[in-house]
Structure 1
């Protein structure tokens, strides 16, 4: 504490000396003039004039200085993850993140970031996180720009941790955490806490959080522009909720009768959809696959037959299993993986899963 005070005095020595001299001079003049006729009246007039000047300065100049302060930006060479986590933990109203994937969920930062988000949520802060859709062509394009970095896998790893966090929260708190994936070419990175943010753009060959960062107020022209872009992506028709990305609601049908509805793990590979058949094993055992089908979305056009992933196509199976493992974090090598084949295309897809 003493060293901090000493540093302040040394760095402001000239200003402190000048303030003391002016203070002494002012007191001397007041004492010297107390016997002059009309002294009290002059003091009141001068005090009144000073108060008017203070009021005018507050009304006229303070907004100007405030605008200048808000339009000022500060640059950083890279994103300081530790400082950002502290800002998130101390947030009072809102936290918004717009990224392809965030380094805050990499192993070295993950625990502190999740703890900061949890603290913010429990303090009533709304948290919105918008990541690039790992199944989009934009994710593949970004991977090429980053010299074939596994961008889709990194995004899925982020989503898995956020999904587990949301499921671990009580329902009331969980509603304040919203995560979505967008399908558009990434152009802007945003980390917002309350009225300030770190903003960057996506350079070719460099991860955004390793690029130069701009710290700005959200009320600045740059902040308003980035905020409008965030809202556009957040509400876009192609943007999906994290829950819709992580699970697929399926209804098991026996001929035309509906047996049960459950949430299944799934992945998409090009035009094909695959589901983890673990939740369906009882029905497959009881009824066999030839009479079973899956309804997705409730419409007649969304009825699928079940075709087991070909065990003899080792390369394709390895690709599908790797996607399941990346998305859900557990081994799917020994699990029954089923391909969904639309009823109209069944004749071209081969026979369903055998009894």
Structure 2
């Protein structure tokens, strides 16, 4: 049954119902019902009207069913919207709590999480920054750093301790203070090995991508070790008797958080006081830097 026929049938049914009501009312006022069918006309007219109503309702069953389907869809949509709004509220509250009560700290790692940092670097979109005395695990990070520089075209800035800095001797003493001297680490030699590794990485990169790898050395007492990717930080301290990457790592999310802003400020300070290293001839470059 098409919609046009249904529409006409509904109009006819409604017209019959309205007309029947008026005719019955007039017939009753003038006494015609009793004259036409004494005692039995009213029940017959009532039955006729009820039958007409029944036919009308039968015609409307499909439409009423569609209204039920629409109601069910509206209910499901409302539930979906409420769920999304609830999630947004939870995320908003969680972000606010993270900033107000945890200052941006999201996790503490027992030691440097190489796999997680590598994943951060693979998704880098703005910059990668490393602040260390030297990078003991550079060989494990080289592939990710190269991909960030070449494939993602992200600048990588690295700050290392000047190998001839007096601080290198102090760090030597700190590392051997609670360890057997047979396990001593030569900080100066370690920094130089790291610079040599970075020079190899520099030469392995296409020439047009090389400017995105920048290395500076500083002559200052480092306060923290930092591995930063965009707005994500891994921060540790230079403790006595162990390397920074073997110390607990505080993971911070957000440049705009309290701790994120403090760490970024320290990075900017060390970068500003540092001196550029020409990785094409890093030994000569280091010798030409005045301490």
- Superposed pair shares fold, TM > 0.5: yes
Question: Are residue 230 (structure 1) and residue 259 (structure 2) matched?
Answer: no
Aligned residues: CA RMSD:
3.5
The corresponding residue for 2:148 is 120
Matched residues, number: 214
Offset at residue 55 of structure 1 (A): 7.7
Question: Are residue 208 (structure 1) and residue 244 (structure 2) matched?
Answer: yes
Question: Are residue 89 (structure 1) and residue 122 (structure 2) matched?
Answer: yes
- Provide closer, same or farther for how the CA distance between residues 218 and 138 of structure 1 changes in structure 2, counting only shifts above 3 A: farther
C-alpha separation between the residues in 1 aligned to 2:77 and 2:220?
61
Question: Are residue 139 (structure 1) and residue 168 (structure 2) matched?
Answer: yes
Preserved contact between residue 277 and residue 285 of structure 2 (Cα < 8 Å): no
TM-score, length-scaled by structure 2: 0.61
- Provide closer, same or farther for how the CA distance between residues 143 and 173 of structure 1 changes in structure 2, counting only shifts above 3 A: same
Of the candidates 206, 228, 237, which is equivalent to residue 170 of structure 1?
Answer: 206
C-alpha separation between the residues in 2 aligned to 1:146 and 1:269?
26
Of the candidates 243, 246, 249, which is equivalent to residue 278 of structure 2?
Answer: 243
The corresponding residue for 2:224 is 188
* 1:177-197: CA deviation from partner (whole Å, max 9, x where unpaired): 111111110110111223322
The corresponding residue for 2:92 is 63
Of the candidates 118, 124, 129, which is equivalent to residue 158 of structure 2?
Answer: 129
Offset at residue 45 of structure 1 (A): 9.3
Point out the structure with max Rg over C-alpha: 2
- Provide closer, same or farther for how the CA distance between residues 122 and 45 of structure 1 changes in structure 2, counting only shifts above 3 A: closer
- Provide closer, same or farther for how the CA distance between residues 265 and 78 of structure 1 changes in structure 2, counting only shifts above 3 A: closer
Higher strand share: 1
Could you tell me which runs of 5 or more consecutive residues in structure 1 were left unpaired when the two chains were aligned. 1-34, 249-263, 272-355
Preserved contact between residue 88 and residue 116 of structure 1 (Cα < 8 Å): yes
* Secondary structure, counterpart of 2:240 in structure 1: coil
TM-score, length-scaled by structure 1: 0.51
C-alpha separation between the residues in 1 aligned to 2:89 and 2:243?
44
The corresponding residue for 2:22 is none
Higher helix share: 2
Preserved contact between residue 235 and residue 249 of structure 2 (Cα < 8 Å): yes
Preserved contact between residue 100 and residue 131 of structure 1 (Cα < 8 Å): yes
* Secondary structure, counterpart of 1:202 in structure 2: coil
The corresponding residue for 1:285 is none
C-alpha separation between the residues in 2 aligned to 1:149 and 1:77?
21
C-alpha separation between the residues in 2 aligned to 1:52 and 1:166?
51
* 1:278-319: CA deviation from partner (whole Å, max 9, x where unpaired): xxxxxxxxxxxxxxxxxxxxxxxxxxxxxxxxxxxxxxxxxx
Preserved contact between residue 161 and residue 191 of structure 2 (Cα < 8 Å): yes
Preserved contact between residue 197 and residue 216 of structure 1 (Cα < 8 Å): yes
Preserved contact between residue 88 and residue 95 of structure 1 (Cα < 8 Å): yes
- Larger RCO, structure (CA 8 Å, separation 6 or more): 2
C-alpha separation between the residues in 1 aligned to 2:148 and 2:171?
31
- Provide closer, same or farther for how the CA distance between residues 183 and 53 of structure 1 changes in structure 2, counting only shifts above 3 A: same
Could you tell me which runs of 5 or more consecutive residues in structure 2 were left unpaired when the two chains were aligned. 1-63, 177-183
* Secondary structure, counterpart of 2:137 in structure 1: helix
- Provide closer, same or farther for how the CA distance between residues 59 and 80 of structure 1 changes in structure 2, counting only shifts above 3 A: closer
